[in-house]
Amino acid sequence: MSDVPIGIFLSGGVDSSYVSKIISQNRKEQIQTFSLRFSNRWTDESNLAMLHASEIGSLHHEVIFNDKTLDF
């Protein structure tokens, strides 16, 4: 139980997908999911995360992560 909205990091992998599905099934409120989009298509799972977020009906947020993200 939580007094504040629930947010889950959704990588697109099995673990985070399973956890987000279980939580979404046990909450009356819409959960929020978050993922990172990488420029390297070999490490980017954001399409899977977005697909899963759509399937569970979460409010999905995506952050683009690239070389400029870490520039100081």
Domain limits of the chain? 11-66
Encode pLDDT of 24-43 as tens digits: 999 888 999 999 988 777 87
Which residues of the chain carry a pLDDT beneath 70? 1-2, 70-72
Beta bridge partners of 34: 9, 61
The per-residue pLDDT for 71 is 66
Question: What whole-number percentage of the chain has pLDDT above 70?
Answer: 93
pLDDT of residue 1: 65
Q: What is the pLDDT of residue 38?
A: 85
DSSP 59: E
Instruction: Say what the pLDDT of residue 12 is.
Output: 84
